């Protein structure tokens, strides 16, 4: 009797999920608590935040580019905040539309902010 070989294939989504939670190493961290957000910001360095929502079309379209930037700039921590799940964080940061991108530098919110899904403007942040 011939045994069936099981071929394993890892999808990009599985790979992405496996890398979640790692910051500054070319991956995007998904914020799941206010404490996690505060810890990441407090550790210093540059942190780029993508305030997003699952129902936001422009957010979904720019998401792959945000992922690319996290690989291109591994010394920067890239995080996503779902405004519906983490409404206290988005309210504290004054987010009014999605996507909104903000930058923290050494624990302080900078004046660098982008509202909208412009890849060129996002990379310029």
The number of domains in the chain is 1
For residue 118, pLDDT over 50 is answered with yes
CATH of the domain at 104: 3.40.30.10
In a domain, 98, yes or no: yes
Give the residue with greater pLDDT, 106 vs 11. Answer: 106
What is the pLDDT averaged over residues 58-69?
96
Burial of residue 5 (number of CB atoms within 10 Å: 0-12, 13-18, 19+): exposed
Quick one: which of 32, 74, 111, 84 has its CA closest to 101? 111
Number of other CB atoms surrounding residue 40 within 10 Å: 19
In a domain? residue 11: no
Domain extent for 86? 17-124
**Which residues belong to the active site?**
56, 59
57: in domain: yes
Name which of 24, 100, 107 is nearest 69 in CA terms. 24
Work out the widest C-alpha separation in the chain, in whole angstroms: 68
Dump pLDDT digits (tens) for 65-74.
999 999 999 9
Query: pTM for the complete prediction?
Result: 0.77
> Is residue 1 in some structural domain?
no
What pLDDT is stored for residue 125 in this prediction? 87
Q: What percent of the chain has pLDDT over 70?
A: 79
């Amino acid at each position: 009797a011939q045994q069936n070989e099981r071929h394993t294939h890892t999808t990009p989504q599985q790979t992405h999920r496996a890398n979640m939670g790692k910051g500054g190493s070319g991956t995007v961290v998904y914020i799941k608590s206010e404490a996690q957000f505060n810890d990441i910001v407090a550790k210093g360095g540059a942190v780029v935040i993508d305030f997003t929502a699952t129902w936001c079309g422009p957010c979904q379209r720019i998401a792959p580019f945000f992922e690319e930037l996290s690989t291109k700039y591994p010394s920067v921590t890239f995080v996503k905040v779902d405004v519906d799940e983490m409404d206290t964080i988005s309210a504290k940061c004054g987010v009014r539309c999605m996507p909104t991108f903000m930058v923290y530098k050494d624990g302080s919110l900078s004046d660098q902010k982008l509202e909208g899904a412009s890849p060129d403007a996002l990379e310029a942040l």
